[in-house]
Amino acid sequence: MNAISELSVIREMLNNLFPIARSLTGEGNRRTLEYLQQFVPITTREIPSGQKVFDWVVPDEWQIRAAWIAGPTGERFVDFEECNLHVVGYSTPVNERLTFTELEPRLHTLPDLPHAVPYRTSYYKRDWGFCVTQEQYQRLKASPGPLEVVIDSKFDAKGSLTIGELVVPGSRKEEILVSTYICHPSMANDNLSGVVTTTLLASEVHKSAKPIHTWRFLFVPETIGPIAYLSSYPDIIKRTVGGLVVTCCGGPGPLGYKMTFQGDHVVDRAIEIAFHELNAEPERYAFSPLGSDERQYSSPGIRIPVATICKDKYHEFKEYHTSADNLNFVKPEYVFESLELYRRVQNILDSNTRIISTIDGGEPQLGARGLYPTIGGANKQSVSKSREGPAGFDLDSVMWTLFFSDGEHDLISIAEKSGRNFSDIVSVVKKLELAGLVTRA
Ligand code: ZN
């Protein structure tokens, strides 16, 4: 797919997914995954409400059909139909007539962003509320009342929590995890950008020739999703060498990444190399146990090093968790930029290997194999690309790669220590393998 048609796919995905009312559980999440299945063969797992998962319990499934606040003449001041952020997520059912004073403690507004609706949830304490713009708040206040307040919601103790998954088996059992969350209703950067990016990355890995690592793509509700999943399939924890949480990667702001809790894990280093190859300087965010699902994957007993490449990271943009995080804020071009980085990182991680020289000792005689300039004595021994050596042959990369072909250094560290491009090192390794000079450790 070329970049232009990929942009139109991203646009179509954003437009179709944006209106769906998602939450921790429920039909909105299933509809989201059903939609994604046309791009990639995601399978779904249902983990029953009430199931104990580590220290948590899977909540009852929440279903919502409608909600509104109407004035005495029936005029609707606030309607869930117009914006699904209007209802506090997991609100209990309500059907009451209230004065503004009685309703007021249940209203959430953003005085600093008066035109935006805030996003609020009450997942683990039964409660209810409405999120409204400052203008709606003023109209409710001015209404003579009483106000008709309706939330047509239901909790199903026999429901379940839905998880989407795609596993692409590699030639190795070691796994790399790519996780995104599907629990946010109509907001675009947090986190439709992550859902779209993960789907398109998964689709590409799925279609490619067999990867080296096994790649596991997860679409989970935030926090309880990874906990429920890992508690149900704990063997995966041991096999997973690292991962990425894909979220907030479609804003107009800077590209950056949040480091793993180790800070210098191979995932961090692959991300640094990817930025370096694009001549881009990332915003670097140190690990903190606050944030998204990297918290769960990194926690004691799990400890999978997980990083996040972001473009307008969560907590860093003023539209965060409001209705202003919409499709005017997120553009397909921004999502595409992040997707390109994620692809590069995926490729780097999957091409990374250690190599060993097949020569018993010393340098191999490259000249005898047509891999070295035949005219000696040049002032600068390390010739650059396509000068003196065979055309297109990067002697610097050849020499560095051979120097580190000791079984101790992986290709990422060779690129780091030599300052050469990772992709050049990879193509040199292929040539050296063909010449019988190195093997993969
Ligand atoms: Zn969020």
Find the largest Cα–Cα distance for the chain: 95
Find the 375 Cα to ligand 1 centroid distance in Å.
62
Query: Does residue 11 sit in helix, strand or coil?
Result: helix
Question: How remote is the CA of residue 333 from the centroid of ligand 1, in Å?
Answer: 22
Give the distance (Å) from ligand 1 centre to CA of residue 90. Answer: 15
CA of 307 to the centre of ligand 1 (A): 17
What is the Cα Rg of the chain in Å?
26
pLDDT in tens, the chain (441 residues): 788 899 999 999 999 999 999 999 999 999 999 999 999 999 999 999 999 999 999 999 999 999 999 999 999 999 999 999 999 999 999 999 999 999 999 999 999 999 999 999 999 999 999 999 999 999 999 999 899 999 999 999 999 999 999 999 999 899 999 999 999 999 999 999 999 999 999 999 999 988 999 999 999 999 999 999 999 999 999 999 999 999 999 999 999 999 999 999 999 999 999 999 999 999 999 999 999 999 999 999 999 999 999 999 999 999 999 999 999 999 999 999 999 999 999 999 999 999 999 998 889 998 888 888 766 666 555 444 444 445 456 889 999 999 999 999 999 999 999 999 999 999 999 999 999 999 998
For ligand 1, the distance from its centroid to the CA atom of residue 7, given in whole angstroms, is: 24
Give me the pLDDT at residue 384, please: 43
Q: Residue 309 and residue 259: Cα distance in Å, rounded?
A: 9
How far apart are the CA of 41 and the centre of ligand 1, in A? 26
- Interval between CA 431 and ligand 1 midpoint (Å): 46
d(CA 388, CA 386): 7
Parallel, antiparallel, or unpaired: how do β-strands 175-181 and 94-98 relate? unpaired
Ligand 1 center–CA 353 separation, angstroms: 36
Ligand 1 center to 296 CA (angstroms): 15
Could you give the residue ranges of the DSSP H alpha helices within 104-262? 134-142, 194-207, 224-232, 235-239
- In three-state secondary structure terms, 244 is strand
Ligand 1 centroid to Cα of residue 248, in Å, is 9
CA distance 223 to 294: 9
Torsion 104-110-116-118 (CA) sign: negative
Cβ density class 25-39: b for 16+ within 10 Å, e for less: bbbbbbebbeebeee
- Ligand 1 center to residue 93 CA distance, Å? 24
Task: Say what the pLDDT of residue 386 is.
Answer: 43
This prediction has a pTM of 0.94
Measure the CA–CA gap between 272 and 257, rounded to whole angstroms.
Answer: 9
